[in-house]
Amino acid sequence: MALFVLLAGAGLLAPIVISQGTIWHADGGSLLTSCLFGVAYALALGGLLKAFSLAPVSVVGPLTAGYPALVVVWGILHGLSPSLVQWLAIAAVLMGAVIVGRFGANDGGLSVVPPGKIWVVLVSALVAVLGFAASIVLGQDAAKTIGEIETTFISRFPAALLVLAAVRVLEPAQALTGPRGMWKAVGAMALCDVIAVCSINAATHFPNKELGAMAISAYGALSVLFAMVFLKEKVSAAQWLGILMITGGVAVLAAP
């Protein structure tokens, strides 16, 4: 699935990249950074989808939603100075993500993970967190000089090659095909993926871009809400509190 989404995303961006033509003048350093961004993103996407294959959305979403905090740490090491209110908002977002992940319904959450697979879920989520955090830093760095669309386009290819290698090694019997109806879902996922990644990379052109990355943490709470509506997963009262904390924290960080 990750392989198909990456390749479809490259196909969606190709007409824009070719028509703009700026990619042909990209410097070697930016191209290398874009490729490293693709490697980090492939690891992140693979870890995320592996975790989703074993655990409910209401578990994996919150577990992986805190990775923008690592981007903020990177920003602080490079001169970012959050105010006290912003620090409190960051803490609220992270605490909310923990609450949503920890206090699921008794007949849901980690209790539905296959026996002996919880450690696989946790390791996969950790790979996703580290990969996504690294990809934000690398993607925004490359986008400064060659643009967010071009950076995203270039990254799809090393990412796809890494995922393909993983498929051949880890799942050699898996055929690179699927039911006909799957391709509509792949196209929709690819469109959402490139819009999201291009938007994140575009944040590099604005001040405090690392704080802006914290808004991504809202995805964990949103995924729980979508899972409740579309997948009929249960949401506990404590999880609602966590969702409100995340929403409030992101709203504060988004304020001027």
Q: Specify the pLDDT at position 256.
A: 64
d(CA 12, CA 27): 23
Q: Specify the pLDDT at position 39.
A: 96
Q: Specify the pLDDT at position 59.
A: 75
Q: What is the pLDDT of residues 151-178, one digit of tens each?
A: 999 999 999 999 999 888 877 777 777 7
d(CA 37, CA 204): 14
Which residue is associated with the tokens 């992940």?
Answer: 101
d(CA 194, CA 242): 28
- Answer yes or no: are the C-beta atoms of 66 and 100 closer than 8 Å: no
Cα-Cα-Cα-Cα torsion 223, 246, 121, 190, nearest 10 degrees, comes to: 40
Q: Specify the pLDDT at position 131.
A: 92
Q: Specify the pLDDT at position 8.
A: 94
pLDDT along the chain (256 residues), means of 10: 91 94 88 95 90 81 75 79 84 80 63 79 89 91 93 95 88 74 90 92 82 71 80 79 81 72
C-alpha distance from residue 144 to each of 32, 96, 150, 203, 230 (Å): 14, 32, 11, 10, 38
As a whole number of Å, the end-to-end CA separation of the chain is: 39
Q: Which of 204, 211, 88 is nearest to 146 (CA)?
A: 204
